[in-house]
Amino acid sequence: MKVERIPTLGDNYTYLVIDEATNEAAVIDAPELAPVVKAIKATGVTLTKILSTHHHWDHSGANAELAEKYGAPVYGHASDHDRIPGFTNGLEEGDRIKVGNLEAEILFIPAHTRGHIAYVFPEAVFSGDTLFAGGCGRLFEGDPEMMNTALNEKLAKLPDATAVYCGHEYTESNLKFALAVESGNEELQRKMESVQKRRANAASDWHDATPDEMTIPSTIAEERATNPFMRVNSREIIASIQKQFPDTATDPVTILGHVRAMKDSF
C-alpha cells in the first residue's frame, strides 16, 4: 500500500491510495481537480474509486469532475446520498471496499457531521475531520457523546501502529491547545518540538508543500499519548477543566464536551 499526500485548498489533505500490485488507486476527500490529476499522471495509476469521508465541500468538491474524467464511482455514507457531489454508492458500518487487492473496512463515526465515516485499511485509517493529529473536528451535527464514541470507543481501539491520515494540516495549532490543558505531558512536549521544526519553513502556498513540511501521518499510539480528546481520563486535563468548571462531572463525555468548547474559543 502506497499513500500519496496531495495538498489541496489552503490546508487540506487529499490522499491517493495505491495498490502497487495492480496499479489501481482510490482518491480520498478531493476538493480540487487539478492537484489530483497531477498526482494521477505522476504516479501512472488507474483511478477506480472516489471516496469521501463526509459531505463538506472541502472534502468532496471535485468528486463529480473526477467521476466524469475517470469514469469512477463515488462512495460515501449511505445517509449522505443527497449531500455528497457525484454520489453513486452508499456505505455503512462494517462494509468493506477494495482498491485493487487492498481492502478497507468502514467505521461509522458521526459527530463532526451526521454521515461521517472512516476508511480503515490494515496499515492506515483515513479519518477525515473526526480525528486530527492532536485534535478533533467541531461538533457541527453531533454531540460530545457521539465524538467520544467515535474517538475513544472506535478509533482508539485500532492497532497502535495504524497510520492516521486526517483531513487538514492543523497539527501545530492543535498541539498548542493540547499543551494549554496538559502542559506536563512530556510526550506531547516532544511532539510539539518536532512539529514546529517541520513547520518552521513551510511553503507560503500550501500547494507547494514538501513531504518534510507535512506533519501527517500520525499514528493511533501517538494520538492516544498526545491528543486531549483521546485523553479524557488524564488527571491533568480533568484538573484543567475543573479550574474553569469546579462542579463539573468527570466522566469522559462531559470532559470531552468541555475540552471541545475550550478549543472552539482558544
- HEC assignment per residue over 162-224: CEEEECECCHHHHHHHHHHHCCCCHHHHHHHHHHHHHHCCCCCCHHHCCHHHCCCCEEHHHHH
Active-site entry in 19, 54, 77, 116? 54
Pairing of strands 89-91, 74-77: parallel
Distance CA 97, CA 162 (A): 18
Given the residues 56, 77, 116, 258, the one annotated as active site: 56
Q: Which of 29, 80, 129, 258 is catalytic?
A: 129
3-state secondary structure of 84: coil
Count of residues making up the chain: 266
Q: Which of 55, 112, 116, 258 is catalytic?
A: 112
Cβ(218)–Cβ(168) below 8 Å: no
Distance CA(121)–CA(162), nearest Å, equals 9
Q: Which of 77, 116, 168, 258 is catalytic?
A: 168
For residue 258, CA distances in Å to 18, 173, 185, 245 come to 39, 18, 19, 9
Residue 258 annotated in active site: no
Task: Clarify whether 129 is annotated catalytic.
Answer: yes
77 flagged as catalytic = no
112 is catalytic: yes
Find out whether 16 and 25 touch, Cβ atoms under 8 Å. Answer: yes
58 is an active site residue = yes
55 included as an active-site residue: no
4, three cell numbers: 500519496
Residue of 58, 77, 116, 258 marked catalytic: 58
- 81 in active site: no
Catalytic residue among 59, 77, 116, 258: 59
> How many angstroms separate the CA atoms of 23 and 101, rounded?
10
| Catalytic residue numbers, as ranges | 54, 56, 58-59, 112, 129, 168
